[in-house]
A = this chain, B = another copy of it.
Amino acid sequence: MIGLSPLLERDSTVPLYKQLYVYIRHQIESGKRQRNEKLPSIRELSTFLLLSKNTIELAYQQLIAEGYVQSRPRSGLFVLALEPVMEMVPMVCKKDSQGGPGQQERPPLIADFQYGDVELERFPLAIWRKCLMDAFRFESRQVLGYGHIQGQKELRAQIARYLQASRGVECSPDRIFLASGTQQAISLLCQLLPQIRVVGMEEPGYDGVRTVLANHRLTIVPIPVEADGLSVEALRRSRADAVYVTPAHQFPLGGVLPVGKRRELLQWAEETGGLVIEDDYDSEFRYQGQPIPALKAMDALDRTIYLGTFSKSFMPAMRLSYMVLPERLAGDFRARLESYSQSVSPLLQQALFLFMKDGHYERHVRKTRKSYQARHRTLLHAIHREMGERVGVIGQKSGLHMLLDVYGRESTELVNRALEHGIRVYAPSRHWMNPEDCPDSYVMLGFGGLEEERISASIGRLKQAWFDDRT
């Protein structure tokens, strides 16, 4: 018995193999196909469904590639056990999964407010592909070998130019060091600057960095974030060697560190000999008022380590972050780095260099800034329209996420109810070193990866989930 009766639309714009793949995937996900169950052979299914073998094969290959089924030599295809979801970016095939047959269980996911998702729809794929291809024109040792330990000089020169123009940060390329992500950069700091033993960390603050610091056995002192940014008073008492801050857009609360606090922070560094680690992760996206220069730009005494990333402003898949070290640390750091290999592929570095050199990067940032601004506005309007006074929005007009205070409610319930309506939102408590200090009524919405219509519709559903369907 074949047991596969998909409703295939032969005149749909969705290719037949994809319809078939979505159908079978759904059967597996919904438990209609058990683990170790054998799928019909390509020939059988081709005869049964009156589809070409090629179509069946493409569908099967996709299922194999995504780990839903396994090909066992000389036996056929078998359904695999599903692992718990481990994706940073869940591989939800959004449009396809809406209208599939037989969905008694959890409704399909309509929108995922995952922080870290970025706009990919208008990503300049063709240009990026061309830059990648052009990268191959360079001497092969340059793009196929290990590359420069700090990262390719020409790319670092582009980054230096960009930092000066857009963030007011003056630095020579030889003080820039690339790493395959911000966590990797933080890890290198921990490994190569042994003078850092106690780190003050914004509370709440970015969990991804705190985990790396903790896993390097550094002592972490939580420094409370007050209405106007972290408490420099508390920092003074902490005896920290360094402090990790997000001045442009406090993560996750969303505030901008005012200039007074910035001065106090630099003064602390001067008086104690401490280091400021400034993570400028999403400063490209500010939607009103003047751009505010980086803290580093004010730092005449050169006590700030500046961190930047291409994950938000370009794409996560670059896996490329960078740090700018103070002059006094750069030499030592470079010497210690000598036993290391650069962790970013020279091929990607070369392509990014070409992309930046020809002005595509700045154009892309300008374009996405507009687009995120629209998404941000849509989100705010929808929240106001649907939820009115029942929620508070936390965070200033910048970045790719915001916190929602759903008055009098509890985040686990909010997250679960949302999921039951096909919307994924997140409890932000992991970003508190003491999670119990996170107000129970907070949920976090990352909107970078969602188009305006979807945002608008999703907030409507969230309203239903949270306020209409209470049982």
Interface positions, chain A 173-214, Cβ under 8 Å from B, are 173-174, 180-181, 183-184, 187, 191-192, 207-208, 211-212
* In the assembled complex, A136 has its CB within 8 A of some CB on chain B: yes
Q: When the two chains form their complex, are residues A184 and B174 in contact, meaning their CB atoms are under 8 A apart?
A: no
The reply to whether A341 and B208 contact each other, CB–CB distance below 8 Å, is yes
Q: How far is the CA of A67 from the CA of B317 in the complex (A)?
A: 27
Would A319 and B343 count as touching, CB distance under 8 A? yes
Tell me the minimal C-beta distance from A347 to chain B in angstroms: 5
CB pair B192 A317 closer than 8 Å: no
Q: Are B181 and A341 in contact (CB under 8 A)?
A: yes
Query: Residues of B contacting A342 with CB < 8 Å?
Result: 88, 319
Please tell me the number of chain A residues within 8 Å of chain B, measured between CB atoms: 75
Q: Interface stretch among A141-149, A371-379, A403-411?
A: A141-149
Question: A56 vs B342: C-alpha distance in the bound complex, in angstroms?
Answer: 32
In the bound complex, residues from chain B placing their C-beta under 8 Å from that of A157 are 64, 67, 70
What's the nearest-Cβ distance from chain B to residue A332, in Å? 13
Within 8 Å by CB of A174, from B83, B116, B154, B334, lies: B83
Q: What chain B residues lie within 8 Å of A207 (beta carbons)?
A: 339
A432 to chain B, nearest CB (A): 13
Question: Quick check: A341 and B88 within 8 Å, CB to CB?
Answer: yes
**Chain B, residue nearest A88 (CB):** B146
Separation in Å of the A88 CB from the closest CB of chain B? 4
B-side contacts of A150, CB under 8 Å = 86
- Among A125-133, A219-227, A288-296, A439-447, the stretch in contact with B: A125-133
Chain B residues contacting A143 (CB-CB under 8 Å) are 317
Partner of A147, one of B88, B138, B147: B88
Chain B residues near A336: list those with CB within 8 A: 215
The digit string for A97-125, where 1 denotes a CB below 8 A from any CB of B, is 00000000000000000001110100101
Chain B residues with Cβ below 8 Å from A343 are 180-181, 183-184, 319, 343
- A228 close to B (CB within 8 Å): no
Beta-carbon contact of A129 and B136 below 8 Å: yes
- Chain B neighbourhood of A26, CB < 8 A: none
State whether B140 touches A319 (Cβ < 8 A).
no
Give the docked Cα–Cα distance between A83 and B211 (Å).
36
Q: Given the complex of chains A and B, what is the CA–CA distance between A326 and B271 in angstroms?
A: 49
A157–B70 alpha-carbon span in the complex (Å): 10
B contact residues around A66 at 8 Å (CB): 153-154
Q: CB within 8 A of A348: which of B187, B316, B348?
A: B348
- Which of B91, B142, B147, B216 is close to A142, meaning CB atoms less than 8 Å apart? B91
What is the CB-to-nearest-CB distance from A371 to chain B, in angstroms, rounded to a whole number?
Answer: 15
Q: Is there a chain B Cβ closer than 8 Å to A139's Cβ?
A: yes
Asked whether A191 and B187 contact (CB < 8 A) given A147-B88, A345-B345, the answer is: yes
Q: Which residues of B contact A215 (CB under 8 A)?
A: 191-192, 336
Residue in B120, B123, B319 whose beta carbon sits within 8 Å of that of A345 in the complex = B319
A118 to chain B, nearest CB (A): 8
Looking at A64, A136, A153, the one whose CB has the most chain B CB atoms below 10 A away is A153
Interchain residue pairs A-B with the least CB separation, the first 8: A89-B145, A191-B215, A88-B146, A180-B343, A211-B339, A67-B153, A65-B154, A146-B316
Given contacts A65-B138, A339-B430, 11 further A-B contacts (CB under 8 A): A67-B157, A83-B174, A86-B334, A91-B142, A120-B140, A120-B144, A120-B145, A180-B184, A191-B216, A211-B340, A212-B340
Listed in ascending order, the chain A residues whose CB lies under 8 Å from chain B are 64-67, 70, 83, 86-89, 91, 93, 116-118, 120, 123, 125, 129, 132-133, 136, 138-150, 153-154, 157, 173-174, 180-181, 183-184, 187, 191-192, 207-208, 211-212, 215-217, 311, 315-319, 334, 336, 338-348, 353, 430
Can you name 20 A-B pairs with beta carbons within 8 Å?
A: A87-B147, A93-B139, A120-B141, A123-B140, A123-B144, A144-B315, A146-B316, A146-B317, A180-B319, A180-B343, A183-B343, A187-B187, A187-B191, A191-B216, A212-B340, A317-B346, A319-B343, A319-B344, A339-B430, A345-B345
